[in-house]
Amino acid sequence: MKAVSAYWCRTRRLTAWLLLIWALLTFVVIWFARELNEYQFFGFPFGFYFAAQGILLCYLGIIVYYSQRMSALDAEYEIREE
């Protein structure tokens, strides 16, 4: 098997970081929802707001960032498909 290429290495690193952020948001922040409800946010208890809206916006952010970084990576390695 040949050595892992730089493109794949960087793709993998980006994926791992974003997955880590996803897991932290989903499983660690939500774990503390009870405690976060002590704080107010635009009239919402913050724990409730984060679970109902905040986390969805973060998910969208993760996907946009991934898509942009990968396009930049494609351009850097001069990859064009079909």
Partner 1 sequence: MLASLTRLQRYYLYYTGIFFGFIFFLAVLERAGMPPRWVGYAFLVFTVSMYALIGVFSRTTDVSEYYVAGRRVPAFFNGMATGADWMSAASFMGLAGTLYLQGFQGLAYVIGWTGGFVLVALLLAPYLRRFGQYTIPDFLCARYGGNAIRLIAVFAAILASFVYVVAQIYGVGVITSRFVSLQFEVGVFVGLAGILVCSFLGGMRAVTWTQVAQYLILIVAYITPVAILSWNVTGVPVPQAVYGKVLAEVTELEKKLFNSPEEIAVRALYADRADLYAQKIMQLPHSLIQERERLSIEINALKASDAQMRDIVALERQRRELPPDPAQAREQWEKDMYLALDRSKPPTPHAEPFPGETAAERNAQRINFLALIFCLTVGTAALPHVLMRYYTTPTVAQARQSVFWSLLFITALYVTAPAYAVFAKFEVLSHLAGIPIAKLPGWVAAWSKVGLVSIEDINFDGILQFAELSLNPDVIVLATPEIAGMPYVVSGLVAAGGLAAALSTADGLLLTITSALSHDVYYRVFRPQSSTQFRLVIAKSLLLLVAVLAATVAAQKPGTILSMVAWAFSIAGAALFPALVLGIFWARATRAGAIAGMVVGLLLTLYYILRLEFGGYSWLGFADGTLDPWFHLKSTSAGVFGIVAGFVTNVVVSLLTRQSPQTAEFLACIREPGEGR
CB atoms within 10 A of CB 22: 15
CB atoms within 10 A of CB 49: 18
We find the least distance from the C-beta atom of residue 64 to partner 1, in angstroms, to be: 6
d(CA 72, CA 67): 9
- 39 scored as a contact of partner 1 (CB under 8 A): no
- The mark string for 43-82 relative to partner 1 (x by CB under 8 A, - otherwise) is xxx-xxx-xxx-xxx-xx-xxx-xx--xx--x----xxxx
We find the least distance from the C-beta atom of residue 76 to partner 1, in angstroms, to be: 13
d(CA 76, CA 6): 11
d(CA 36, CA 33): 5
Q: Which residues bind partner 1 (CB under 8 A)?
A: 1-2, 5, 7-8, 11-12, 15, 18-19, 22, 26-27, 30-31, 33-34, 37, 41-45, 47-49, 51-53, 55-57, 59-60, 62-64, 66-67, 70-71, 74, 79-82
